[in-house]
């Protein structure tokens, strides 16, 4: 049976691969991004044409509560929410200004509050639903020069576990995927080739993860048992 899936940050990278995976199985899609709206629209048209699915695209900054509220007024009921939108900032904490700090926290963590605020009542009413938050291994162990990002993803992990306990009686599941180094534009934007090669040497699997592997795990969680909730599942090639 087709489900209705909302994916944030879907224009590229992990979010794009997640959208493709759900389209392949015939689900209705609602895709958002903040900046690359033309890229997102092209993706939506491509998925509709290739897989015959209904696909709506929206420009939405998940850190903006009013914009998220408007998004859900247009989207209506959803069955699955994938919180993928996120940003990074690298550098010394002392070099970070307050606006950069707020932007990272408000997007990576505040965005979860905004989307869940409006997705949860629908799911509770229907007594079904799955929320999957894309997190990071840095949320578990922290990363030098990525204090804000690490703090935001640590918040995502705790948010996931707490909300899962809140919603379990209503048969709504909440889980997270803590990604290691995934081969995405965001990582390539922040790390040069030498840094990426050095990282790969540290990973027991000998390579970066693929965005398609994250997407595959998202689907497996969605199709998993109802008893699977409140988990932060690490996907890092044995790295951390």
Residues 6+ apart with CB under 8 A from 230: 160, 161, 164, 165, 168, 174, 175
Q: Which has more pLDDT, 165 or 186?
A: 165
Sheet containing strand 129-136, strands side by side: 55-59, 28-33, 4-7, 80-83, 129-136, 172-179, 232-235
pLDDT at 185: 80
Quote the crossing angle between the two packed helices 98-108 and 147-167, to the nearest 10°. Answer: 30
Residue with tokens 């690359």: 36
Tokens of 91: 């550098």
Q: What is the pLDDT of residues 212-237, one digit of tens each?
A: 999 999 999 999 999 999 999 999 99
Whether CATH 3.40.50.720 fits 4-181+211-234: yes
The mean pLDDT value for 187-198 works out to 82
Q: What is the pLDDT of residues 112-169, one digit of tens each?
A: 999 999 999 999 999 999 999 999 999 999 999 999 999 999 999 999 999 999 999 9
The mean pLDDT value for 59-86 works out to 97
For the chain, domain boundaries: 4-181+211-234
pLDDT at 192: 84
Q: What is the pLDDT of residues 3-44, one digit of tens each?
A: 999 999 999 999 999 999 999 999 999 999 999 999 999 999
- Give bridge partners of residue 31 from the DSSP assignment: 7, 57
Residue with tokens 């900054």: 61
Looking at 102-231, which runs of residues are DSSP E strands?
Answer: 129-136, 172-179
Tell me the C-alpha distance between 101 and 110, whole Å.
Answer: 12
pTM more than 0.95: yes
Q: Which residues are catalytically annotated? A: 149
pLDDT band, residue 186 (cuts 50/70/90): confident
The 3-state DSSP class for residue 180 equals coil
């Amino acid at each position: 049976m087709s489900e209705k899936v909302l994916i944030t940050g879907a224009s590229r990278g992990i979010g794009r691969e997640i959208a493709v995976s759900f389209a392949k199985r015939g689900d209705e899609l609602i895709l958002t991004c903040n900046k690359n709206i033309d890229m997102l629209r092209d993706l939506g048209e491509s998925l509709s044409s290739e897989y015959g699915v209904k696909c709506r695209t929206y420009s939405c900054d998940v850190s903006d509560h009013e914009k998220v509220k408007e998004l859900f007024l247009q989207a209506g009921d959803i069955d699955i929410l994938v919180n993928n939108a996120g940003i990074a900032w690298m550098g010394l904490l002392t070099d970070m200004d307050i606006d950069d700090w707020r932007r990272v926290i408000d997007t990576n963590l505040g965005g979860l509050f905004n989307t869940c605020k409006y997705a949860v009542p629908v799911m509770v009413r229907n007594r079904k639903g799955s929320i999957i938050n894309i997190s990071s291994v840095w949320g578990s162990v922290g990363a030098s020069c990525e204090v804000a990002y690490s703090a935001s993803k640590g918040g995502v992990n705790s948010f996931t576990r707490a909300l899962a306990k809140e919603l379990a009686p209503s048969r709504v599941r909440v889980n997270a995927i803590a990604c290691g180094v995934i081969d995405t534009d965001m990582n390539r934007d922040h790390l040069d080739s030498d840094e990426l090669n050095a990282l790969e040497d540290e990973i027991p699997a000998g390579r970066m993860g693929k965005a398609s592997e994250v997407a595959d795990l998202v689907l497996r969680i969605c199709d998993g048992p109802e008893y699977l909730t409140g988990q932060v599942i690490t996907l890092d090639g044995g790295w951390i």
